[in-house]
Amino acid sequence: MKIVIANDHGAVELKFKLIDWLSAQGHEVVNLGVDAEDRVDYPDQAGLAVREFEKGGYDFGIVCCGTGIGISIAANKYKGIRCALIHDSYTALMAKEHNNANFVAFGGRVEYAEPVEHILDVFMKADFQGGRHATRVAKLDELC
């Protein structure tokens, strides 16, 4: 898979952890930074990731900030982006199966009960179920 990832200063360590794991699995990751803990605004980082994703060729995007909340809200402001703030295997599975999320968000300051790599793996292996969910996703896409 080809994945774009962006983060703010609150998720530098987490971003590198995800990149290392994804790369070890053979995926191509485009890192839009930031790579240091100097302050940067999460809406700007979400915008970078979305604009890169919109160029095409990506399977999905990952955005990270301190909690994952702000950057997921920012990503969802863009037409066609369905960014899910996932925090465990179940939300990761539902984000793909029911909502066909094309972005996921994580928080660098969040203590996850499961390893984030496992959560991301569940999302990546899931398939959109379509059917009644396709109608709902279409309605989501019409909101922007």
Residue 118 annotated as catalytic: no
Picking from 65, 121, 60, 119, the residue whose alpha carbon sits closest to that of residue 87 is: 119
Contact present, 72 and 6 (Cβ < 8 Å): no
Supply the DSSP symbol for 79.
T
Q: How many CB atoms lie within 10 A of CB 49?
A: 27
d(CA 98, CA 29): 25
Marked catalytic residue, from 9, 27, 98, 118: 98
Residue 87 annotated as catalytic: no
Picking from 82, 80, 83, 77, the residue whose alpha carbon sits closest to that of residue 106 is: 83
Marked catalytic residue, from 64, 65, 83, 87: 65
d(CA 45, CA 75): 9
Q: Which residues are catalytic?
A: 65, 98
